[in-house]
């Protein structure tokens, strides 16, 4: 792949495999990467955290042995990993791979991170560190539905995002007086990269897939993973915001029953998938280089391969 450049006219666009959680992005991307000797860069805001493995559906050790992955296990549980920070690292990896003639697939469902790579975000005015800490403590005490209602008023374009993004949106507008979405809109005026997208989505079959995947995670020992993490990871670490981890922690600490934890996780995962679908539908509405595939179709791999790697594709 060519080195990353600040132009939509780049000869080789950034190849992206995206879609809602549990749709089958990773399996398709690994199959494509094996065919082309490609590097996979994870665009998943929770797979960055070391130790948070089962609940974030990280590629297995066998899968990582078959295909090199970057963007996984790069952060401690207490660190905050921003879209801008991830995008800078991803751009550097794409450039390095290009210099050695290796193709790259950017794979994940964190839309804001993908946008930060393709369409650089505008910088946010500096905020006083002490005021930020106080604001984060105040906002962190609210549950996610309450935060979402706040952001629906404070910064409506960001109200459909996840908890970490909701906290950030509220923090910025309350401390700077301007909306984070307005800062990002300013970023739209900056140069962007060309991209070619494959959106993986099984449609109505996604809900049963999510239930099956959740049961597989539980059977694989997700609760044991959380028990081990509790010994070293502070209760307020950002990594605990990964979908399902707080519910599993409530279960292992005896606050809820296993069945209640499973049901809560399934509901929140389905809601997250719905928000992801909304994001991709709205953000890619005017994008011409998008192929939507159902992973259950027999020709999905062939179609995705031709779309992403055939230089004659439109």
Domain extent for 265: 14-120+191-309
**Interatomic CA distance for residues 158 and 258, integer angstroms:** 32
Angle at 46 between CA 102 and CA 114, to 5 degrees: 50
Same domain? 96 vs 133: no
In a domain, 53, yes or no: yes
In a domain, 71, yes or no: yes
- Paired with 39 in beta bridges are 104
What does the pLDDT read at residue 189? 47
Backbone torsions φ then ψ of 119, nearest 5 degrees:
-125, 95
In a domain, 244, yes or no: yes
Same domain? 169 vs 68: no
Same domain? 153 vs 291: no
CB 8 within 8 A of CB 194: yes
Same domain? 169 vs 53: no
**Interatomic CA distance for residues 63 and 40, integer angstroms:** 11
* Number of structural domains found in the chain: 2
In a domain, 1, yes or no: no
What does the pLDDT read at residue 262? 98
Same domain? 48 vs 91: yes
Same domain? 296 vs 195: yes
Same domain? 54 vs 155: no
| Of the residues 185, 207, 222, the one at which a domain ends | 185
Same domain? 109 vs 222: yes
CB 113 within 8 A of CB 83: yes
3-state secondary structure 224-252: HHHHHHHCCCCCCCHHHHCCCHHHHHHHH
Same domain? 116 vs 159: no
In a domain, 6, yes or no: no
What does the pLDDT read at residue 190? 53
What does the pLDDT read at residue 5? 36
In a domain, 247, yes or no: yes
What does the pLDDT read at residue 312? 64
**Interatomic CA distance for residues 179 and 155, integer angstroms:** 6
Structure tokens belonging to residue 222: 């997700």
In a domain, 223, yes or no: yes
What does the pLDDT read at residue 68? 97
Backbone torsions φ then ψ of 151, nearest 5 degrees:
-70, -30
What does the DSSP assignment read for 278-291? HHHHHHTTT-SSEE
Same domain? 63 vs 171: no
Q: How far is CA 146 from the centre of its chain?
A: 22
Same domain? 151 vs 281: no
Low-confidence ranges of the chain (pLDDT < 70): 1-11, 121-124, 183-191, 311-314
| Of the residues 142, 157, 185, the one at which a domain ends | 185
Q: Residue 35's domain is classified under what CATH number?
A: 3.40.50.300
Contacts 24+ apart (CB under 8 A), 64-68: 66/30, 66/34, 67/30, 67/33, 67/34, 67/38, 67/39, 67/40, 68/39, 68/40
Q: Residue 160's domain is classified under what CATH number?
A: 1.10.20.140
Kindly list the distances between the CA atom of residue 167 and the CA atoms of 12, 86, 113, 125, 282, in Å, as whole numbers in the listed order.
36, 18, 16, 17, 22
Same domain? 178 vs 199: no
3-state class percentages of the chain: helix first, strand second, coil last, to nearest 5: 55, 10, 40
What does the pLDDT read at residue 9? 38
What does the pLDDT read at residue 126? 76
């Amino acid at each position: 792949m060519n080195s990353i450049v600040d132009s939509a006219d780049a000869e080789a666009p950034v190849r992206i495999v995206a879609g809602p959680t549990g749709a089958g992005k990773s399996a398709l991307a690994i199959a494509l990467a094996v065919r082309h000797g490609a590097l996979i860069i994870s665009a998943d805001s929770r797979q960055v955290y070391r130790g948070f493995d089962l609940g974030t559906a990280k590629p297995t050790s066998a899968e990582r042995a078959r295909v090199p992955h970057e963007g996984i296990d790069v952060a401690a549980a207490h660190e905050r990993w921003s879209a801008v920070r991830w995008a800078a690292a991803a751009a550097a990896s794409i450039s390095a791979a290009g210099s050695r003639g290796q193709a790259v697939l950017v794979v994940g469902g964190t839309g804001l991170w993908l946008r930060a790579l393709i369409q650089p975000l505008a910088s946010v005015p500096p905020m006083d560190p002490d005021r930020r800490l106080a604001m984060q403590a105040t906002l962190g005490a609210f549950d996610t539905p309450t935060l979402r209602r706040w952001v629906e008023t404070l910064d409506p374009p960001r109200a459909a995002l996840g908890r970490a993004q909701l906290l950030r949106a509220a923090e910025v507008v309350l401390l700077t007086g301007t909306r984070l979405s307005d800062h990002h809109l300013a970023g739209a005026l900056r140069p962007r990269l060309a991209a070619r997208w494959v959106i993986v989505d099984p449609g109505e079959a996604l809900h049963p897939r999510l239930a099956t995947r959740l049961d597989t995670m539980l059977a694989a020992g997700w609760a044991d993973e959380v028990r081990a993490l509790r010994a070293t990871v502070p209760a307020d670490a950002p990594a605990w915001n990964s979908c399902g981890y707080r519910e599993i922690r409530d279960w292992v600490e005896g606050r809820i029953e296993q069945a209640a934890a499973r049901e809560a996780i399934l509901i929140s995962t389905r809601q997250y998938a719905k928000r992801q679908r909304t994001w991709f539908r709205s953000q890619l509405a005017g994008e011409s280089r998008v192929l939507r595939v159902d992973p259950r179709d027999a020709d999905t791999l062939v179609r995705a391969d031709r779309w992403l790697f055939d230089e004659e594709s439109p």
